[in-house]
Amino acid sequence: MARMNRPAPVEVSYKNMRFLITHNPTNATLSTFIEDLKKYGATTVVRVCEVTYDKALLEKDGITVVVRLAGCCCPGGASLSGDWPFDDGAPPPGKVVEDWLSLLKAKFCDDPGSCVAVHCVAGLGRAPVLVALALIESGMKYEDAIQFIRQKRRGAINSKQLTYLEKYRPKQRLRFKEPHAHRTKCCVM
């Protein structure tokens, strides 16, 4: 089978948030994936495509693969099961958006400047859309969020996803107060 040419992982940083957008690894490429995560300091991974690797191997290295329990988003929770997949080329379902934003709010309030990795199959659609939503929720205009991501990830976000982002109405769930005062109620609701 021919090896698929996939873009290298890219870091997207904005305010106190850092994201690593990447393609999905397989068990055969997992060691390189883990090296990339460590290089960028990512200790949390969100998988929005079908399972292609054993997450236990990442967890051995102290990297949490976030999974979802219906109605709850609890990073590092012991009783969680499942993943966050949604259809390739499609915008994310509302539940995935809610869980994603809840995860980021908790993660970046507790550890500003930390890095959250997110991947889909090629790292060009589903993962960049979630990062765009985070940027929009933190105050960036949707056009600027798309341009910001595409500067680092050429070809990211298809026309159906662009329409979704254009129509998306943020609730400012990722607007953070003074970045150095994060230990005392860092998030504005």
| Cα gap 49→85, rounded to integer Å | 4
Distances (CA, A) of 16 to 35, 66, 105, 175, 187: 23, 20, 11, 10, 12
- 88 as an active site residue: the answer is yes
In single-letter form, the type of residue at position 32 comes to: T
- 73 as an active site residue: the answer is no
Which residue in 49, 115, 120, 186 is the catalytic one? 120
Q: What are the residue ranges of helices labelled H in the chain? A: 30-40, 55-60, 94-110, 126-137, 142-152, 159-167
Q: What are the residue ranges of helices labelled H in 41-125? A: 55-60, 94-110
Which residue in 36, 83, 88, 144 is the catalytic one? 88
Question: Where in the sequence numbering do the catalytic residues fall?
Answer: 88, 120
